[in-house]
Amino acid sequence: MKLLYIGLTLLLLSLTAKAANTNIASPEIKTLSAASPIKYNNNTPFSVINIPPLYTTLGDRAYGEQTINFKLHSNAPSAVVVYGKTVGVGETVQFTKSVNSNRGLDIPIHPGVVGAAGSGDYTITLDVKGIQCPAGYTLVDDSNLCYKTSVQTAGNSCPAGYSYNSSTGDCKKTISIAGTVTCPAGTSYSGGACRSSSTGPATSSCPSGYSRSGNSCTKNSQINASTYCPSGYSKNSTNCSKTVSATPSYSCPSGGSLSGSSCVTKEEKFMVLACPAGQIMATVQVCTNSSGVPTGDFPSFSCPAGYQDKGKPYYCERTVSTSPAAVSCPAGYTASGSSCLKTQIASFNYSCPAGYSQAGTKCNKQVSASLVYSCPNGGTLSGTSCTTTTSTSFSYTCSSGYYLSGNSCKKTVSAQSTLVCPSGWSLSGNKCSITDRIYYN
């Protein structure tokens, strides 16, 4: 194709568009010779290369940005500006441009200099990038939409608690209630059995050791009385005793005299004569000189050791304790040292605890106890009565329309099922369908 420059000069360029190994013819493009883009009042370019709708080799429509190779042939009078890129004579430039709503291309073009005139050829080459739907999807003509419709058989929905029965085509559920327990006449159900009870008087008896007297039980209780001693006495294992004392009397044998509790006698000795110095005692009361001649000189007299001068001429005396004095105790007393002692014996005194009566050395009282009640044959005691419970087997019965299963009554009820589709699916007859859409902008 030719590109024509009009105005003062006119340039004509011819186009050979090659897309996906397919040649596309385009009309001649006329443009004014100018150094900048020329636009209409509505701001649209004056000169535009319009390429018709493009398809891939597989027949898919062009989609999105396309990679374009623009070659200006050597017969062109000057460089041109294509979609903002300057292309010199004989040069090739590459740029990307999105397809228009018709899946073709609108590429603005104008000369790159002022004053160029004539015509030249250009070639546009591109591999078309198109929309390709996923497997199973179909492209809608004149749109960016891929769609696929899925169909499945609608499911059967039952009311809450029901389950679908494929053999009958309806919904069923089994109602189960407890069976009614039936007991034989005269018995009642309690604790898993039919029971009957009878009441009669309990058997009464007294505790061991007690004797019955009417509705009472008694026994005589006897314990030993407590023992104690009169005041001042000490208690031993057999009796009470205390020790009393009396003043003894003393006497001395013949020739002695009593002094306290002892008997004493008196002894006398001559005083000892003391001779003057140089003289010796020749005989009693005689002093001699060294020649043995009595001198007759008595200087002094003294008592022997232990004796005392009692005023008698030439005599000294001392008192000697000969022996203890003889002790005499009153009748019934026994001498013990300087005392007379005797032990007095008294019988025990006896006492009983409160409530007991004394009988000699024993304490007696009568003890009462309540009657003890018991039930024969495993009965249950309640006060003075015995209740005997017997158990019998029971059976279950069901209301009309129910059948017995174990200890439950059951019946099966039906309901109409409804056809339902998953959320987002549409019901048509007994089929559910949904269309998946993929949009390409």
3-state secondary structure 245-280: EECCEEECCCCCEEECCEEEEEEEEECEEECCCCCE
Pairing of strands 2-6, 29-32: parallel
pLDDT at 336: 81
Do residues 341 and 203 lie in contact, with contact meaning Cβ atoms separated by under 8 Å? Answer: no
Nearest to 347 by CA among 240, 235, 225: 240
Residues of the chain falling short of pLDDT 70: 1-22, 24-27, 34, 141-143, 253-255, 260, 273, 279-285, 296-298, 300, 306, 313, 321-324, 441
Using alpha carbons, list the distances in angstroms from residue 12 to 6, 103, 105, 118: 9, 26, 20, 6
pLDDT at 26: 63
- pLDDT tens string 125-160: 988 888 778 888 887 766 678 889 999 988 889 998
Whole-number Å distance between alpha carbons of 6 and 350: 163
3-state secondary structure 165-211: ECCCCEEEEEEEEECEEECCCCCEEECCEEEEEEEEECEEECCCCCE
* Tokens standing for residue 131: 């929309």
Do residues 392 and 187 lie in contact, with contact meaning Cβ atoms separated by under 8 Å? Answer: yes
Do residues 389 and 195 lie in contact, with contact meaning Cβ atoms separated by under 8 Å? Answer: yes
Run of H or E residues at 322: strand 315-324
Do residues 3 and 124 lie in contact, with contact meaning Cβ atoms separated by under 8 Å? Answer: no
pLDDT at 300: 67
Q: Residue 377: helix, strand or coil by DSSP?
A: helix
Do residues 433 and 425 lie in contact, with contact meaning Cβ atoms separated by under 8 Å? Answer: yes
